[in-house]
Amino acid sequence: MFANPLLDGLQFSKEPSPFVITIFGATGDLTRRKLIPALFSLFLKGNISQFKIVGFARRPWTTQSFQDEVRQMIAGGPFASVPEGLKLAFLEKLDYVSSTFDAAEGYAKLSQIVQGWEGRLFYLSTPPDEYEPIIRNLGAQNLNEATRGYSRIIVEKPFGRDLATAKELNDILATVFEENQIYRIDHYLGKETVQNILVLRFGNGIFEPLWNNRYIDHIQITVAESLGVGTRGNYYEKSGALRDMVQSHIFQLMALLTMEPPNDLSPDTIRTEKVKILKSLRPITFKDVSKYTVRGQYSEGIVQGQPVKGYLEEEGVDPNSRTETFVALKIFLDTWRWEGVPIFIRTGKSLGRRVSEVAISFKEPPLHIFKNRGSDTWNNTLVIHIQPEEGITFNINAKIPGYTTQVRPVNMDFAYGNAFGEATPEAYERLLLDALVGDSTLYTRRDDIETSWAFITRILQGWAEDPNPLPQYRAGGSGPDEAKNLLGSLHQKWRKL
Ligand code: BG6
């Protein structure tokens, strides 16, 4: 019922031309957890065949030691039963350059390796301070140009820390690459369930007529994580939940949910509609931050039966830190369609459950002829489950069987696993393949990123002036109680975590 035309003809018919992908920061966590597994998986599925992977990082590894590391990355989990011969064939495609990110010699060596390859994809997966020297050195070696084929660059988040730094990074990129060579990645856009939002809305006739302020009471977006910051304390201290999750992943979700229908599926048509929505965000100014935002920081507690530390005790975290590990927002879009519909957003670490979902809460019927329900249960809710469950639930009221007119909410369910019977591909697989075939639909454009940062930066400035202590919440719970203050009418309740 919810087939995804965005995937049609892309994943299986567009085989990328021979390419070399260079991963800057290849010794890091993202390479191990996401990039290598995604590339290996694409290789196993036959989506990529003629390619080379170059690891570029400071560690004094050799091609041999890089191969040994990658061998570990593809040893277990979904790859445990892959025949050794296939693993060897993949490992043979690896090369490694040991270099600092500002040393011209490293790039000269890289230039020799990539010579003769039609497609050149550069992946920035280093700490963001290294982006500038990498971009400039790629330019200095003319690696931004391809006489035959293409040269493209994928830029990982964080893409800036605020509007000024995001603009600065965009400017640096623009001195070396054209906008159509730049792929700013947001891995949420690679998730099947996120892409399906467009299909749900615009591939079905039933929802769109109701998708507006006449029928929708409010929208709730939750991205809750049960893990704390773990070993990423250093990174997280410079980020916090608003930058880490809202500016990027949650705003992308929100834009897909609320944008106007695109006329076609071309990258720029979709991206232009998303930017229009981001531009319509009603600014939260300095005087309003306490009315529309709530921050929190986790204290020690129990998560899924295990005792866990509080944020201030985590490695790499300043014991006086005011970095938020939870944020809740109430936002409005100033458009005809959405005027007056609050969008509640919450995200946090060390919460009781890992769940990402969007809940569209519809207005109640105009007249209550069945009076035996609490008023809040009259609101039909459409829930888009993003992870770990993947699917859609529509919550409707139904008559309880028997000689009564009693009513109770029940669910209509669509689960990906049941409907399609196969595991959905990993986000990074889809996104890498898109970049290789030159499809930027699921990547963010310059104006997209700068518009969302403009909104977020105002909130950050407001918070910087706020002397109040940060509310604490116990790890394993559902966030600070203060988040309830954002809600308005009786119908508005945070969904259970
Ligand atoms: C990353 C954030 O972008 O997304 C992490 O930096 C977060 O802090 C992660 O944990 C969540 O991604 P996913 O796919 O596990 O929901």
**Which residue, by CA, sits nearest to atom 15 of ligand 1?**
225
Judgement on whether residues 194 and 147 belong to the same structural domain of the protein: no
Please name the residue that has the structure tokens 């979709």: 270
Supply the pLDDT for residue 146: 80
d(CA 157, ligand 1 centre) in Å: 10
d(CA 188, ligand 1 centre) in Å: 9
Supply the pLDDT for residue 15: 80
Supply the pLDDT for residue 408: 86
Other C-beta atoms lying within 10 Å of the C-beta of residue 85 = 8
**Which residue, by CA, sits nearest to atom 6 of ligand 1?**
244
d(CA 173, ligand 1 centre) in Å: 24
Q: Tell me how far apart the alpha carbons of residues 242 and 497 are, in angstroms, rounded to a whole number.
A: 19
Judgement on whether residues 282 and 134 belong to the same structural domain of the protein: no
Other C-beta atoms lying within 10 Å of the C-beta of residue 129 = 8
Return the best residue to mutate from 33, 222, 244 for the ligand 1 pocket (most ligand atoms within 8 A of CB): 244
Supply the pLDDT for residue 372: 64
Residue 172 within a domain:
no
d(CA 189, ligand 1 centre) in Å: 12
Contact yes or no for 59/98 (Cβ under 8 A): yes
**Which residue, by CA, sits nearest to atom 13 of ligand 1?**
188
Residue 416 within a domain:
yes
Judgement on whether residues 134 and 42 belong to the same structural domain of the protein: yes
Judgement on whether residues 317 and 458 belong to the same structural domain of the protein: yes
User: In the listed set 156, 180, 202, which residue is the last one of a domain according to the structure?
Assistant: 156
Residue 170 within a domain:
no
Residue 2 within a domain:
no
Kindly list the protein residues whose Cβ atom lies closer than 6 A to any atom of ligand 1: 157, 225, 244, 356
Supply the pLDDT for residue 147: 77
Query: What is the DSSP secondary-structure string of 90-118?
Result: HHTTEEEEE--TT-HHHHHHHHHHHTT-S
- CA 477 from chain center: how many Å? 23
Supply the pLDDT for residue 104: 96
Residue 219 within a domain:
yes
**Which residue, by CA, sits nearest to atom 8 of ligand 1?**
244
β strands within 402-442, DSSP E: 407-415
Supply the pLDDT for residue 114: 95
Reduced to 3 states, what is the DSSP secondary structure of residue 325? Answer: coil
Amino acid 364 reads E
Which numbered atom of ligand 1 lies nearest the CA of 248? 3
d(CA 113, ligand 1 centre) in Å: 33
- The CA-atom distances, in angstroms, between 40 and each of 22, 86, 113 are 15, 10, 21
Q: Tell me how far apart the alpha carbons of residues 145 and 181 are, in angstroms, rounded to a whole number.
A: 10
Q: Tell me how far apart the alpha carbons of residues 448 and 454 are, in angstroms, rounded to a whole number.
A: 10
Judgement on whether residues 90 and 197 belong to the same structural domain of the protein: no
Amino acid 33 reads R
Q: Tell me how far apart the alpha carbons of residues 489 and 213 are, in angstroms, rounded to a whole number.
A: 15
Amino acid 84 reads E
d(CA 225, ligand 1 centre) in Å: 9
Say which CATH number the domain at 90 has. Answer: 3.40.50.720
Reduced to 3 states, what is the DSSP secondary structure of residue 495? Answer: coil
Q: Angle, to 10 degrees, between the axis of helix 267-279 and the axis of helix 446-464? A: 20
Beta bridge partners of 355: 224
Judgement on whether residues 341 and 417 belong to the same structural domain of the protein: yes
Which numbered atom of ligand 1 lies nearest the CA of 232? 8
Cis preceding-peptide flag for 128 (omega within 30 of 0) = no
Please work out, in degrees rounded to the nearest 5, the angle formed at the alpha carbon of residue 99 by the alpha carbons of 95 and 105.
95
Supply the pLDDT for residue 11: 44
Say which CATH number the domain at 246 has. Answer: 3.30.360.10
Q: Tell me how far apart the alpha carbons of residues 328 and 345 are, in angstroms, rounded to a whole number.
A: 5
Q: Where are the alpha helices (DSSP H) in 299-358?
A: none
* Owning domain of residue 393: 189-486
Element (H, E) at 33: none
d(CA 273, ligand 1 centre) in Å: 25
pLDDT tens, N- to C-terminus, the chain (497 residues): 233 334 343 444 568 999 999 999 999 999 999 999 999 999 999 999 999 999 999 999 999 999 999 999 999 999 999 999 999 999 999 999 999 999 999 999 999 999 999 999 999 999 999 999 999 999 999 999 987 899 999 999 999 999 999 999 999 999 999 999 999 999 999 999 999 999 999 999 999 999 999 999 999 999 999 999 999 999 999 999 999 999 999 999 999 999 999 999 999 999 999 999 999 999 999 899 999 999 999 999 999 999 999 999 999 999 999 999 999 999 999 999 999 999 999 999 999 999 999 999 999 888 888 866 555 567 899 999 999 999 999 999 988 888 877 888 899 999 988 888 877 889 999 999 999 999 999 999 999 999 999 999 999 999 999 988 999 999 999 999 999 999 987 678 999 99
Exposure string of 298-321, with b = 16+ CB inside 10 Å and e = fewer, is: bbbbebeeeebbbbbebeebeeeb
Which numbered atom of ligand 1 lies nearest the CA of 227? 10
Exposure string of 179-196, with b = 16+ CB inside 10 Å and e = fewer, is: eebbbbbbbbbbbbbbbb
d(CA 151, ligand 1 centre) in Å: 28
Return the best residue to mutate from 157, 192, 222, 225 for the ligand 1 pocket (most ligand atoms within 8 A of CB): 225
Residue 112 within a domain:
yes
133 phi/psi in degrees, rounded to 5: -60, -35
**Which residue, by CA, sits nearest to atom 5 of ligand 1?**
244
Q: Where are the alpha helices (DSSP H) in 283-394?
A: 289-292
Which numbered atom of ligand 1 lies nearest the CA of 188? 14
Which numbered atom of ligand 1 lies nearest the CA of 223? 16
246 phi/psi in degrees, rounded to 5: -80, -50
Q: Angle, to 10 degrees, between the axis of helix 251-258 and the axis of helix 192-202? A: 20
User: In the listed set 135, 156, 177, which residue is the last one of a domain according to the structure?
Assistant: 156
Judgement on whether residues 114 and 221 belong to the same structural domain of the protein: no
d(CA 352, ligand 1 centre) in Å: 16
Residue 492 within a domain:
no
Contact yes or no for 471/482 (Cβ under 8 A): yes
Judgement on whether residues 360 and 217 belong to the same structural domain of the protein: yes
Residue 28: both structure tokens together: 């890091």
Judgement on whether residues 194 and 149 belong to the same structural domain of the protein: no
Residue 496 within a domain:
no
Please say if 187 is a catalytic residue: no
Beta bridge partners of 398: 408
Contact yes or no for 45/243 (Cβ under 8 A): no
Cis preceding-peptide flag for 158 (omega within 30 of 0) = yes
Judgement on whether residues 127 and 204 belong to the same structural domain of the protein: no
Contact yes or no for 172/209 (Cβ under 8 A): no
Judgement on whether residues 470 and 368 belong to the same structural domain of the protein: yes
Judgement on whether residues 424 and 308 belong to the same structural domain of the protein: yes
Number of domains in the chain: 2
Q: Tell me how far apart the alpha carbons of residues 489 and 470 are, in angstroms, rounded to a whole number.
A: 26
Which numbered atom of ligand 1 lies nearest the CA of 235? 6
Q: Which of 249, 368, 385, 491 is catalytic?
A: 249
Supply the pLDDT for residue 377: 66
